[in-house]
Structure 1
């Protein structure tokens, strides 16, 4: 009996000795896998940073040196276009009163001369920003598909130079494209909390900024719509409702009745992932809960001069070449 007991004890000891390292080995394997995963993340982020730096360097190299002379800067993309530049891309401008030059994307489609001041494409850039960030601008304005906000202060300086039109391109998740255009677009200075002014509407997307035009007698924003952020609410309704709209949409915007035309809402990966009106919204087209896919906003001088002689022919030839290469820009006027 003692021999049997001793044998059993010996076997149990062997079993426990053999089994003990297994959990440790599994833990080591798991940790090594986690380390490798973290290395992959770091490597991917490093690759993305290098690509971004390379892209920005290439874009900056395309800016003609003559544009960098403070004495030879255009005031906006309308002047860039009127001077014979018909290719969409980065240009340097300096609006009246601006303390510095601005690198902006000029869209030469739809008649040319449009200064792009906002772009939403894929949700890579958060628009849940502070008052200071919205004032000075943020995001990637160097890449053709980068998301950004040019800034309330530059937008005020731009639109204070004269009479400007606002053009908004929108696209849903089915590839349908609509546009909205407004006359007499202007943004006041910071003292007036960047209050927005818009005039007559035209387009195919619907008038989602009707409250800003003061055409609705029942609008809570008949006194004008001031810009709002989570740290600087300027919304006209009750304070509690103001905070609700800003907190709900997680963005800065000219809020009136929350998300009626809030193109700075959360970017979702599908049309109906939004919780009511907290997505990128243009409610009069798709309703409150449909988060549209992309939005691009731009301004142009209403009194845009005719381009330099021959520009019309250059533009037609350029567009023909783009069509032939299969790289024509999409149209938003259908």
Structure 2
């Protein structure tokens, strides 16, 4: 980044010393410098905020939850181990260099690891590549908005076969969902490429281009309409740069990071609007196959679960009313909050 900035400054100095015809070029170079400086400042602010927030949250985590004997690989293992209460847990996926704090949703069959949540727009999703890589937002409060991180998504989905579920609600209180088999996110060297299997649900399949094999009736064309999946893009790292629906064209309305399939056909990280039709363009929280491009959805939860989830055995020492209240079996790990 610094080498690029120095090169631009040298070109600008040479151009300013030349006659008037260089003025147009100088203007473009100045704009490029401004853009680079904004990216650097965004990254510095993110790193400083990350250090501050992590230092505060580590103090709140009991040491007993950080021992190797208490760490599950994901929320599916926590659920199978008898943890029936939704809340914050500490896990460590295979190959992950560190433990992760995650929100586990034990409803809808249980065992869901939540990796994205949006409710009221308090958290901006116009973020740089490094922020989407590490994750951002507030997953420590039950109503916080956050993105868990592309690295954690890669570690989680590399452990075996996973399903993905998306729950959505519009401003009229209507709810829809989309589920996908064989959910997988590649590593950073492959631009966190998204792969999806069979679709099921009532919201429509707005990520058809990510299917491992084309679904019947889906013939959308775009930057990655083959079985290779869809690359992740942000405003400072544009992937899939060829074609009518390339990332640079798709990301023109917002700075959100997403797997841009037919532009904003399914961009759930778009800008949050406080009403359904307040967006001037298709820059909102969009799921095209449900509400089209102009409707910005009110709330979204994205989560994943192991395909071979085992249901926990009930503890026969608990009374029926205790089981109904979601009490955990003996020896199970309680969430850090519910």
Q: TM-score, normalization: structure 1? A: 0.74
- Partners of 2:265 and 2:105 in 1: CA distance: 26
What are structure 2's unaligned runs of at least 5 residues? 1-52, 328-338
Number of aligned residues: 264
2: CA distance between counterparts of 1:189 and 1:287?
31
Q: Secondary structure at the match of 1:211?
A: helix
Q: Aligned pair 1:82/2:85, yes or no?
A: no
Question: Would you say 1:308 and 2:310 are equivalent positions?
Answer: no
Which of 86, 99, 121 is equivalent to 2:119? 121
Contact 2:193 2:230 (8 Å CA) reproduced: yes
Query: Offset of 1:208 from its aligned partner?
Result: 1.1
Secondary structure in 1 matching 2:83:
coil
| Greater RCO (Cα-Cα under 8 Å, separation 6 or more) | 2
Aligned pair partner of 1:276 in 268, 273, 281: 281
Judged with a 3 Å threshold, the aligned counterparts in structure 2 of structure 1 residues 176 and 316 are, in CA distance, closer, same or farther, namely farther
Distance 1:243 1:314 in 2: 55
The secondary structure found in structure 2 opposite 1:248 is: coil
Is 2:302 the partner of 1:297?
yes
- Sort the Cα spacing of 1:60 and 1:269 in 2 relative to 1 into closer, same or farther, 3 A: farther
**Is the CA contact 2:209–2:220 (under 8 Å) kept in the aligned structure 1?**
no
- 2:133 equivalent to 1:135: yes
Taking a change above 3 Å as real, the CA distance of residues 240 and 318 of structure 1, as seen in their structure-2 partners, is: closer
Q: Deviations over 1:29-53 (max 9, x none)?
A: xxxxxxxxxxxxxxxxxxxxxxxx9
Structure 2 partner of 1:219: 221
Instruction: Please name the residue that 1:231 is paired with.
Output: 236
SS in 1 for 2:247: helix
Q: Does 1:145 align with 2:160?
A: no
Match of 1:318 among 325, 330, 333: 325
Distance between the aligned counterparts of 2:321 and 2:93, measured in 1? 27
Equivalent pair of 1:165/1:183 in contact (CA under 8 Å): yes
Residue 141 of structure 1 deviates from its aligned partner by: 0.8
- Distance across 2 between alignment mates of 1:239 and 1:230: 17
Larger CA Rg, structure 1 vs 2: 1
The whole-number CA distance in structure 2 between the counterparts of 1:315 and 1:175 is 32
1:1-334 → structure 2 map (5 Å cutoff): 65-213=63-211, 214-215=214-215, 216-220=218-222, 221-223=224-226, 224-235=229-240, 237-238=242-243, 241-310=246-315, 317-318=324-325
The CA distance in 1 between the partners of 2:81 and 2:233, in whole Å, is: 37
| Root-mean-square deviation over aligned CA pairs | 2.4
Secondary structure of the residue that 1:169 maps to in structure 2?
A: strand
CA shift in 2, pair 1:83/1:64, >3 Å: farther
The CA deviation at 1:319 is 6.4
Cα distance change of structure 1 residues 64 and 79 upon mapping to structure 2, 3 Å threshold: farther
Q: Which moved more, 1:215-224 or 1:267-276?
A: 215-224
1:149-177 superposed Cα distances (whole Å, 9 cap, x missing partner): 00000000000000000010000001111
Q: Distance in 2 between matches of 1:255 and 1:147?
A: 21
1:308 CA displacement: 3.0
Cα 1:71–1:196, aligned 2, differ >3 Å: closer, same or farther?
A: same
Contact 1:236/1:256 (<8 A) preserved: no
- Superposition misfits of 4+ residues, deviation over 2 angstroms: 63-67, 214-218, 235-242, 308-316
Contact kept, 8 Å, 1:235 with 1:254, in 2: the verdict is no
1:123–1:87: structure 2 CA closer, same or farther, 3 Å change rule? same
Supply the distance in 2 between the matched residues of 1:146 and 1:261 (Cα, whole angstroms): 22
Contiguous gaps of at least 5 residues in structure 1: 1-52, 321-334
CA distance in 2, matches of 1:296, 1:315: 28
Question: Alignment partner of 1:202: what SS?
Answer: strand
Farther-moved stretch of structure 1 (280-289 vs 304-313): 304-313
- SS in structure 2 of the partner of residue 79 of structure 1: helix
